[in-house]
């Protein structure tokens, strides 16, 4: 009798296993069926720096790859179809095919807007061009604008909203254009879909909508029609801004929130607008999108920002009016490498595009499958990590080096040959303390030849750094290649600073 009872209980248990539990597996959820668990899937791979991705009216993901390829992938099967191959793209470092935007009403206006770098008579230009979508191809290019470009700081993002085109241009390395409303660089430009200037622009016949920008890398409208941007600062103060018509955002005088005497007095005279949020140390912000869906609990009414240096997805929760950032949550830090752009599907899934094959690779990347498009269909509340706490594990000197120098010279100091020199076997670092301090205080003064290789990319000035932090970094980089570096005397830093201020 005892055995029959046990068998009976076992039988019910087994039946229960087959008839009750499987129901929860049918819904295509991860093994851990807690509602808030993170769900991640690669939907496309072997891409080459997808600078912009957008959800199309055909329910495919449209992709602009930096070397000049426009394609679309089916997010379910991953199959890729090429729509257009541009043949006149000039591509080095952060130039090339950058922005892409689809018209918000492709049925009536089947237009795709692109911007890319070209070269004419030895000069570089950013070209904004409109193509017409027809079935499986893009036709009839119509150039809307061509403006000065450079090796870097070319922006740029394009967004179409309410039938108007917004184009965020870079300062193209000029320190005067951003503050000159008559030039197109360092601006947000607003135009009709044929490139003409709308009658309600702030200045008659001028596409300038807002100005005072350095290098915008993300731009998105919220559901209520407010425009937000993300922007690269110099050595400090990356920004997210809320854009108002006809306003000045301060670059190059005001960086981040106006604090110093020079910044507050410039702000007083020019009524510049402070960012909603600024990051120092910098995070290398890139693509920006507004999340309006109910699909992922907790993200509604957030700006989603991806980052290159920060290698993460960030959710910036907005207040009800969209005028303040209340919280910042960081997801997937260091997991996928550099992330350049994102898009959100109508169903509320988030798609990320990695940028691990670009000009500035990071340790551990690219992986063979890079670059990838990764689908996020849920995010766990327990996922966000705080980047500062994970960084604080190392010494103070290491933290400073990682924050200020590693984005170019890399974590191990070996740099990227031809772009950022190695600090490990550098004559300057080991043998020439005065030149070393000078380099860090001044930054680049023009192309440098180091061990027979020309470096014409730019190193910013770190003159803002406190002497004690500078000394920490000096000791840190001097001990990278050898274990017996002699610390540099504090007096020498003071002496070099004084000689530069003469």
User: Cβ of residue 440: shortest distance to ligand HEC, in angstroms?
Assistant: 5
Using rule CB under 6 A, residue 423 touches ligand HEC: yes
User: Cβ of residue 456: shortest distance to ligand HEC, in angstroms?
Assistant: 8
Using rule CB under 6 A, residue 429 touches ligand HEC: yes
| Listed ranges 19-27, 260-268, 416-424, 484-492: which one lies at the site for ligand HEC (CB under 6 A) | 416-424
CA atoms within 13 A on the CB side of 429: 21
494-497 CB contacts, 8 Å cutoff, 24+ apart: 494/467, 496/434, 496/437, 496/438, 496/441, 497/441, 497/463, 497/467
How many other C-beta atoms lie within 10 A of the C-beta of residue 162? 8
Q: Applying CB under 6 A, which of residues 216, 296, 459, 496 lies at the interface with ligand HEC?
A: 459
Using rule CB under 6 A, residue 420 touches ligand HEC: yes
3-state secondary structure labels for all residues of 98-135: EEEEECCCCCCCCEEEEEEEEEECCEEEEEEEEEEEEC
User: Cβ of residue 501: shortest distance to ligand HEC, in angstroms?
Assistant: 19
Q: Applying CB under 6 A, which of residues 9, 11, 139, 450 lies at the interface with ligand HEC?
A: 450
CA distance 285 to 305: 7
Q: Applying CB under 6 A, which of residues 340, 404, 413, 488 lies at the interface with ligand HEC?
A: 404
**How many binding residues for ligand HEC (CB under 6 A)?**
25
Helix (H, G, I), strand (E, B) or coil at 97: strand
User: Cβ of residue 414: shortest distance to ligand HEC, in angstroms?
Assistant: 12
> Considering only CA atoms, which of 407, 338, 346 is closest in space to residue 374?
338
Nearer to ligand HEC, 61 or 408 (CB): 408
CA distance 102 to 61: 11
| Listed ranges 14-22, 243-251, 290-298, 425-433: which one lies at the site for ligand HEC (CB under 6 A) | 425-433
Using rule CB under 6 A, residue 479 touches ligand HEC: no
Using rule CB under 6 A, residue 421 touches ligand HEC: yes
Using rule CB under 6 A, residue 279 touches ligand HEC: no
| Listed ranges 81-89, 106-114, 202-210, 436-444: which one lies at the site for ligand HEC (CB under 6 A) | 436-444
And the tokens for 455? 């470096």
| Listed ranges 146-154, 265-273, 322-330, 423-431: which one lies at the site for ligand HEC (CB under 6 A) | 423-431
Using rule CB under 6 A, residue 407 touches ligand HEC: yes
And the tokens for 488? 């540099």
Q: What is the dihedral sign for C-alpha 470, 421, 411, 99? A: positive
User: Cβ of residue 171: shortest distance to ligand HEC, in angstroms?
Assistant: 15
Packing angle between helix 433-442 and helix 490-500, nearest 10 degrees?
Answer: 50
| Listed ranges 16-24, 29-37, 144-152, 447-455: which one lies at the site for ligand HEC (CB under 6 A) | 447-455
Say what the alpha-carbon torsion angle 180, 185, 191, 193 is, to the nearest 10 degrees: 160
Beta strand 39-44 with 277-279: parallel, antiparallel or unpaired? unpaired
Using rule CB under 6 A, residue 439 touches ligand HEC: yes
3-state secondary structure labels for all residues of 340-397: EEEEECCCCCEEEEECCCCCCCCCCCCCCCCCCEEEEEECCCCCCECHHHHHCCCCHH
Q: Which residues bind ligand HEC (CB under 6 A)?
A: 404-405, 407-409, 420-421, 423, 426, 428-429, 436, 439-440, 444, 448, 450, 455, 457-460, 462, 473, 477
């Amino acid at each position: 009798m005892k055995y029959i009872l046990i068998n009976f209980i076992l039988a019910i248990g087994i039946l229960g296993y087959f008839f009750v539990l499987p129901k929860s597996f049918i819904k295509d959820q991860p093994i851990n069926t807690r509602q808030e668990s993170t769900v991640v899937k690669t939907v496309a791979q072997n891409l080459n720096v997808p600078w912009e991705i957008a959800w199309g009216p055909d329910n495919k993901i449209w992709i602009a790859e930096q070397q000049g390829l426009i394609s679309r992938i089916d997010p379910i099967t991953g199959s890729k179809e090429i729509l257009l191959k541009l043949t006149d793209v000039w591509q080095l470092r952060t130039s090339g095919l950058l922005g892409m935007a689809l018209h918000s009403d492709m049925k009536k206006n089947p237009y795709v807007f692109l911007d890319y770098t070209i070269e004419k008579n030895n000069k570089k230009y950013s070209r904004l061009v409109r193509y017409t979508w027809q079935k499986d191809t893009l036709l009839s290019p119509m150039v809307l604008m061509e403006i000065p470009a450079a090796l870097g700081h070319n922006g740029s993002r394009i967004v179409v909203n309410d039938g108007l085109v917004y184009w965020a241009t870079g300062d193209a390395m000029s320190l005067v254009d951003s503050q000159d409303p008559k030039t197109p660089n360092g601006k947000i430009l607003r135009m009709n879909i044929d490139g003409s200037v709308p009658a309600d622009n702030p200045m008659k016949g001028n596409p300038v909508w807002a100005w005072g920008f350095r290098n915008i890398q993300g731009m998105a409208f919220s559901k209520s029609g407010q425009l937000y941007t993300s922007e690269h600062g110099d050595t400090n103060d990356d920004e997210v801004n809320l854009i108002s018509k006809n306003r000045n955002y301060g670059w190059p005088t005001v960086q981040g929130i106006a604090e110093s005497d020079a910044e507050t007095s410039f702000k007083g005279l020019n009524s510049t607008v402070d960012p909603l949020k600024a990051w120092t140390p910098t995070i290398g912000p890139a693509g920006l999108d507004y999340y309006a869906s109910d699909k992922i609990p907790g993200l509604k009414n957030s700006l989603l920002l991806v980052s290159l240096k920060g290698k993460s997805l960030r959710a910036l929760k907005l207040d009800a009016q969209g005028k303040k950032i209340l919280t910042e949550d960081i997801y997937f830090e260091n997991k996928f490498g550099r992330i350049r752009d994102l898009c959100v599907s109508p169903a509320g899934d988030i798609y990320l595009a990695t940028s691990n094959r670009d000009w500035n690779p990071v340790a551990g990347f690219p992986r063979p499958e890079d670059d990838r498009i990764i689908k996020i269909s849920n995010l766990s509340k327990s996922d966000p990590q705080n980047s500062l706490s994970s960084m604080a594990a190392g010494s103070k000197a290491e933290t400073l080096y990682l924050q200020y120098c590693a984005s170019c010279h890399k974590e191990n100091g070996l740099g990227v040959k031809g772009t950022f020199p190695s600090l490990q076997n550098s004559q300057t670092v080991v043998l020439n303390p005065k030149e070393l301090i000078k380099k860090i205080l001044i930054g680049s003064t023009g192309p440098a030849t180091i061990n027979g290789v020309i470096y014409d990319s730019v190193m910013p000035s770190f003159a803002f750094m406190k002497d004690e932090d500078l000394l920490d970094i000096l000791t840190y980089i001097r001990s990278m290649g050898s274990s017996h570096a002699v610390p540099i005397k504090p007096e020498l830093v003071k002496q070099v600073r004084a000689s530069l201020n003469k």
